[in-house]
Each structure stands twice: as structure tokens, then as C-alpha cells.
Chains A and B, each alone.
Chain A
Amino acid sequence: MSGADAADQRQKAFIGRFLAHVPHLAALGIRYRAHGPDWAELEMPYAPHLVAYPETGVIASGAIFSLMDTASGLAVVMRMAELQPHATLDLRCDYLRPAEPGRTVVGRAECLKLTRRIAFVRGIAHDGDPDHPVAHVAGTFMLTAAA
């Protein structure tokens, strides 16, 4: 294993541990899927307790927002050279279409720009085909420890 691979494995293990200790993510079933230098991908398997429309079985947009907020924050962490405290400043989510009942929703976000105090992110959620997204997000994060 090369040094870069080892670093990647360490980063992946860190993300797994980090996510496993967030109670709200456990409550929604959100878990790690993939990451890169400036992006992160999470997944949220379909579950009855996420449903907002019992007549159709469609899950709540709020659950997708949680998925994308988390993926966005993780993308910011991936972009940082070292972990710094940060908080969501704002996040906009466009709900392009309902997620198909029964399908796992995948949330992928990338950090477009990281300044000393602000990080800019965008991302999409899809339920199988990234070219046919269910949601689109754009947001900013604040690095809370920055002077």
C-alpha cells in the first residue's frame, strides 16, 4: 500500500468513526459511502420512519436535507488540510422530484472553495442515477475558530 493509500485508508476510517458517533445520523440511517480530496458521498437507505407521505411511501424532504447538510459538511472537512471547527451558515435545497420509495438515496457534495473563514459547497442527491437527481443543494459553512 502506498503512502497516499494509507492516508486515504486512515481518512476513511476517521470518517466511519466520526459518522458512527453522530446520533441523528444513526436515527436516520445515514452512513459513509465514498470521499475524495474535496468531496464526500453518503447514503441513506429507504426506511419507513423517514416517510412523509404515507399514501405513496415517499420520504421526507427534511431527511434529504439532513443527508445533504451532512455530506456538505464532510466535503468541507475533506478540503481542509486539518480538521477545524465549522458550522453551517446557510443551505438551500431544491427538491427536483420525489425519491423513489424503496430506493437508497445517495448524497454527494463538493467543496468548491475554502477561504480562511468561509467554505462554499454544492451537491446533489440521487436515488440510483446521478444524472437524474432528486435534489440539488448550495450552501456556505463558517470556520468558527478563524480569527
Chain B
Amino acid sequence: MTVLSDLPPYAATLGIVPNPDGSLTMPFAPSLIGAPGRIHGGALAGLLELAALRAVLEALEPGATAKPINVTVDYLREGRMEDTHARATITRLGRRVANVRAEAWQDSPDRLVVAARLNILVDRPAPAVP
């Protein structure tokens, strides 16, 4: 499924754009600022959630849905007023739940700004009756 077209209004509010390699980029915009000079932690969390949901939806068959059950976000460095990139890795894709890790960085993927662990509820369409 083309998840590109599935980025919801909230993703547009954050200005998030998908990259060909499956990662997401949240270009810096003044509307993302929380504390002076820093990107709001909630915007970074939103980016991680969207990266995780996108990864799960891309791994599932068309018609499947994915909704976050919970997310735990670790704030590792301050988010500077720069573009932020995020990617997600599926630890396990089960029938009902996907366990996902997501992380985001700015200048270098080796210097993470935030990292998260998510449990995502998966709803897969019933298999066609043979």
C-alpha cells in the first residue's frame, strides 16, 4: 500500500515528509519550537509514532490497520532547530500486536535525539475464504 498518501493531517501539521528509504523527515519549522531554541518533545514523539506506524503498515497487507497501544520515549539530546529524521524497526510482527522501536536524529544517525519503544495494535483483514 502507498503509505505516502496515508500521512494524516496531524503529520501535515508537523510538516513531516516521507523519504524513499522508508524513513521520515520533519523539516525544521518555527511551529515546532517548545522551549526557546528547542523542538518540542511532543513533536519529536509524534514523529517517532508516525515512523513506527508507517513501518508497521508497510509490513502488512492492504486493508490492515495499526494503532498505538503505548509508547515510551527516551529523550537523549535536546532537539535543536534543525531538520529531524526518524526510522523504525519492527522487533516482532505478531497477529495482534507489533513491537516496534523508533529513533530520530538530526546531524548524524549515530547521535540519536530521541528513541522510543511502541506496542502497536494490529488489525488484519480476514483471509479470503478458499
Contact = CB atoms under 8 A, between A and B. Distances in A.
Interface of A: 22-28, 48-54, 59-63, 65-67, 69-70, 87-95
B2 interface: no
Interface of B: 8-14, 30-35, 39-43, 45-47, 49-50, 67-75, 78
A5 to B, nearest CB: 29
Across the A-B interface, give the 6 residue pairs with the lowest CB-CB distance, nearest first: A66-B42, A62-B46, A60-B10, A24-B40, A27-B31, A92-B72
Contact of B8 (A26, A60, A89, A90): A60
Contacts of A61: 49, 67-68, 71
Contact of B10 (A59, A91, A92): A59
A65 B34 contact: no
Contact of B13 (A49, A54, A88): A49
B40 A66 contact: yes
A69 B79 CA distance: 15
